[in-house]
Structure 1
Amino acid sequence: MQDLMKLRDEIDIIDDQIVRLFEQRMVVSGQVAAYKRSVGKPVLDKEREKIKIEKVVSKTSNEFNSKAVESLFSQIMAISRMYQYQNLASERTDLEGFFEAEMKITPDTRVVYAGVPGAYAEAAMVEYFGTEIDGYNVETFKDAMEEVHNGKADYAVLPIENSSTGSVNDVYDLLSSYDNHIVGETMVKVEHALLGLPGSRIEDIHTVFSHPQGLMQCSRFLDGKREWQQVSLQNTAASAKRVVDDGDLGQAAIASRQAAKNYGLVVLKESLNDLKNNSTRFVVISHKKTFHEKADTISICFETLHESGSLYSVLSHFIFNGLNMTRIESRPVKGKPWQYRFFVDFNGNLKEQAVKNALHGIQSETESFRILGNYKGVEPVC
């Protein structure tokens, strides 16, 4: 035991030296940041870091220490970069042209959603904007994005995530393809019902229509109806309309009770959801780069360098700036096999210095980077 205590005392002495030397190194890093600021040189110098790591690794005595020193100095240099980013970001005020503004809703405000009347997207639009607006519908998510991008609509309301079936990948892809921005979000509770024509019975059904996620969200119920043909359509309300248009007593739709009222259908069975607290998150899209003073959620997307540790390096900016990351999604990049675009949500406001520090660092260490929006987040519907 006495020998162990002596060894621990020796480690404490070494650790004290490491801390002292680390702080000396950070002072010099600050001087490096000042120099780079004066000459306009970027913080990240990959070639310099590669040479530095090779040099320190060459001084180790065995293979284990070589890998350990490589990892250690990679972290030290990452920390040094973040310190330099903080120094440089303190002078940056432009965040890709975003500006603070109040959202003004009037009867002339044009809001578009994808689907037909009775869709959950219509309910989301009413939940966020109320009824005193000029709301209308288009067929697809892409159509809605186009309406906003071309100035025909002030806002679009699009589903982006369901609590039971996950992300709406098409909307994530559209967010990266269009120069539109998230300015708000809302949650709508999803309560699916089986709808049929007046006079139809469950035992007569042979075909059921719904959105793909609607079918997935009711998989337990449908597992007991293996003989039914499941047909995916663009949304749940369109599925209700299809039943009406076809006029077949053997067809049914999985949609909302509101869709039943809109299209004159009857509810054959209620509460089909696998999860009773199922809800869908909708984002509000605008072409203007605005945010509210009370905005507390930021969405970004980026592509990382196609090399080991690149994602970790990017995400570490949240840790070092004390920011809480709430969501991360990935989507394949078209034309770049096995490369991915990442979508991240985190808590913060574009006016906060910690946010500026993190965004500056992430932008500097990614191949492509966009701020998708800064908006007021909402709690899930239970």
Structure 2
Amino acid sequence: MNKPQPLNHTREQITSLDNELLALLARRRELSLDVARSKEVDVRPIRDTTREKELLSRLVKQGREQGLDAHYVISLYQSIIEDSVLNQQAYLHGRANPETQKQQYCIAYLGARGSYSYLAATRYCDRRQVEMQDLGCQSFDEIVQAVESGHADYGFLPIENTSSGSINEVYDVLQHTSLAIVGETTIEVGHCLLANSGSTINDIKTVYAHPQPISQCSRYLSQHGQFKLEYCSSSAEAMEKVCNANDNSVAAIGSAEGGALYQLEAIESGLANQKINQSRFIVVARKAVEVPSQLPAKCTLIMATGQKPGALVEALLVLKARNLNMSKLESRPIPGTPWEEMFYLDIDANLASEPMQAALKELEKTTRFIKVLGCYPCETVKPTQLSSSQLMIEPNTSKATTVTATAQTKQQRVSKQYKAEPSQVLSGQLCLGAGQIGALSQVQLPIELPQFEQMAKSLKESGFQAVVLQGLSQQSDLINSINHFKNALAQFDLVCILAIEHETDLTIATQFADMVMLSGNLMYNQAILTQLGSLLIPVILERNAMASVDDLLNAAEEVLSQGNQQLALCESGVTTLNNSGKPSLDLAALVELKALSHLPVVVNPSYAIDAEQLPTFARAIKQLKGDGIMMNLSAIESTTQAQSDELVKTVLSNLYH
């Protein structure tokens, strides 16, 4: 056996490679600006998704040849593409507004250095390669006043968070200012528990934080009832208090990046209720800006409708008639006029476009008040995704055939007469229905975290988009384990679906899952169906092994009637008097369900079909217009892991080819 080279020599080589990578990334960014200059002359759109998909497809193939998995390559280059798009947008926006081009911006933001507002402002300036002169403020009103008076060029105002929702105080401030919204930026909010060096979680008694992080980390804080919460005006103030205290019993909630400015260490991370926790900031200035036509633009309006039935609906129909997408609608009370509200709308359109101008003219006739708060480049860059065929397998692009519904389901929400178009259930990378086929894997708990992490990686590489966790009651330290399992799945963009098999599973499942699946044994439980109907996350409803198709549709009707329209059905097999052993896979029920209902139908053949028959049945599920397949891998009895992997690959290939 050859003796490995000394560790310090290996580290030197890695450092040298890292330096080369940074230089190459910087050079690539420079070339992306050359692309922007070309698009400025040709007036072409910033994004070329066809080119991006071709690039990713080629890189995935080349990466595999060099031992790199597809998920790693795609994640890396999605970040590079996003950076390229945003830099090109910033360049072209600056070229269209030469009066805004300076060597230095004075920016007013909430709090002091280290706050999330400070970090957002810093990244905004870095992208435009300008120096930032920062002006910390104690309130949103103070930020607006600083810009209105000319003491600051721009003001940064947090407008919404993916965890805690809209920030109403900012909407109220916008009602009374002449400033224009000229930009937006979104940052990842990684909440950490920050403390002085040497502190441990057992030492902490007092936590300082801004109200927004406290709301966004409510689940974590509820698990530590011993903490005394102290509210601060900003995250920076919270970190400063801990720094000045020189006391190991105090901590702050903030970012690791901000905490470093105050010599604080993160003793706990990932505190937010949601795995993806982002804050969106708007940028305000004294003068509106022009947005070039090739940039994706967003308009923010404020309007008040008349006090008559359907007034808001009439206004929104004006947008629909001109094919304008409204990405945000927020209402706030009008001071001094009880029971009347002002509406804020974000519309994905350029103010200068013909549809937007026509819509504004029409709205001026039907509203009591309307004002454009700003038109600015949209900085939400939707990641380019490869199709299953580009990753491994070919997607099904066929459209479900239309079958006349029977009178039995007429007028029911589940029926095609109620909704002619097929419904789609979406969660992360999983898409079921309307011609899209999904692949879901079942995993039986209990399981150890290292084994689960390896399994998650393998499932992603095999082509699955979601994992159904069963046996919640069998897992020790359930809450902590589910948190770790969900984080592991999120690393590979796998949707976390928790199976409700007992009534006691409901609370945990609805608290942590991206989706929930109601086991067939609870399909007749009216109370649970009602609760699932009130959820804001998608639901998969499994057919009871003794239930008829009508019974399943009636259960689905109960869920839909409570408001939750993100519902899929699951056929896993039926038990009859003639089959005392395995259940029978009822593909006739699949055909009937597709004929009667617009809801997507997933089929789980694992319990009813022998492993060697799975590839054949996968092809049949596709031909019968099934919307997805669910596989219980533990039910596949193969002599070797290699045989099991090959079987899964064949099943999924047959499903998508």
**Do they superpose with TM above 0.5?**
yes
Indicate if the aligned counterparts of 2:135 and 2:152 stay in contact, CA closer than 8 A: no
- Partners of 2:194 and 2:381 in 1: CA distance: 26
**What's the offset of the Cα at 1:163?**
0.9
> Please, which moves more after superposition, 306-315 or 184-193?
306-315
**What's the offset of the Cα at 1:198?**
2.4
- Partners of 2:315 and 2:97 in 1: CA distance: 29
Equivalences for 1:83-98 in 2 at 5 Å?
none
SS of the equivalent of 1:303 reads strand
Counterpart check, 1:268 vs 2:267? yes
In the alignment, what sits opposite 1:282? 281
- Partners of 2:352 and 2:268 in 1: CA distance: 50
Counterpart check, 1:117 vs 2:113? yes
Distance change >3 Å, CA 296–CA 103, structure 1 → 2: farther
SS of the equivalent of 1:329 reads strand
- Partners of 1:237 and 1:156 in 2: CA distance: 17
- Partners of 1:251 and 1:164 in 2: CA distance: 25
Equivalences for 1:1-382 in 2 at 5 Å?
101-102=97-98, 104-130=100-126, 132-293=131-292, 294=295, 296-379=297-380
Distance change >3 Å, CA 254–CA 103, structure 1 → 2: farther
**What's the offset of the Cα at 1:173?**
0.9
In the alignment, what sits opposite 2:609? none
- Deviations along 1:77-112, whole A, 9 cap, x unmatched? xxxxxxxxxxxxxxxxxxxxxxx7356332333222
One-letter code of the match for 2:101?
I
SS of the equivalent of 2:338 reads coil
SS of the equivalent of 1:363 reads helix
Distance change >3 Å, CA 361–CA 185, structure 1 → 2: same
- Deviations along 1:180-213, whole A, 9 cap, x unmatched? 1111111100001101122322112121111112
In the alignment, what sits opposite 1:25? none
Distance change >3 Å, CA 219–CA 261, structure 1 → 2: same
One-letter code of the match for 1:115?
G
- Deviations along 1:6-48, whole A, 9 cap, x unmatched? xxxxxxxxxxxxxxxxxxxxxxxxxxxxxxxxxxxxxxxxxxx
Indicate if the aligned counterparts of 1:279 and 1:381 stay in contact, CA closer than 8 A: no
SS of the equivalent of 2:131 reads coil
- Partners of 1:103 and 1:298 in 2: CA distance: 21
Distance change >3 Å, CA 107–CA 137, structure 1 → 2: farther
SS of the equivalent of 2:144 reads helix
**What's the offset of the Cα at 1:299?**
0.3
- Partners of 2:112 and 2:181 in 1: CA distance: 23
- Partners of 1:267 and 1:101 in 2: CA distance: 41
Indicate if the aligned counterparts of 1:106 and 1:133 stay in contact, CA closer than 8 A: no
SS of the equivalent of 2:219 reads helix
- Deviations along 1:324-356, whole A, 9 cap, x unmatched? 111100111111111111000011112211111
One-letter code of the match for 1:114?
L
- Partners of 1:376 and 1:103 in 2: CA distance: 17
Larger relative CO (CA 8 A, sep 6+): 1 or 2? 1
Q: TM-score scaled to structure 1, two decimals?
A: 0.71
**What's the offset of the Cα at 1:134?**
2.3
- Partners of 2:223 and 2:344 in 1: CA distance: 37
Indicate if the aligned counterparts of 1:325 and 1:345 stay in contact, CA closer than 8 A: yes
- Partners of 2:201 and 2:288 in 1: CA distance: 49
**What's the offset of the Cα at 1:377?**
0.7
Indicate if the aligned counterparts of 1:175 and 1:181 stay in contact, CA closer than 8 A: no
SS of the equivalent of 1:177 reads coil
- Deviations along 1:204-240, whole A, 9 cap, x unmatched? 2121111112012112211111121222212212111
- Partners of 1:245 and 1:230 in 2: CA distance: 17
Q: TM-score scaled to structure 2, two decimals?
A: 0.42
- Partners of 2:291 and 2:157 in 1: CA distance: 20
One-letter code of the match for 1:342?
F
The aligned length equals 283
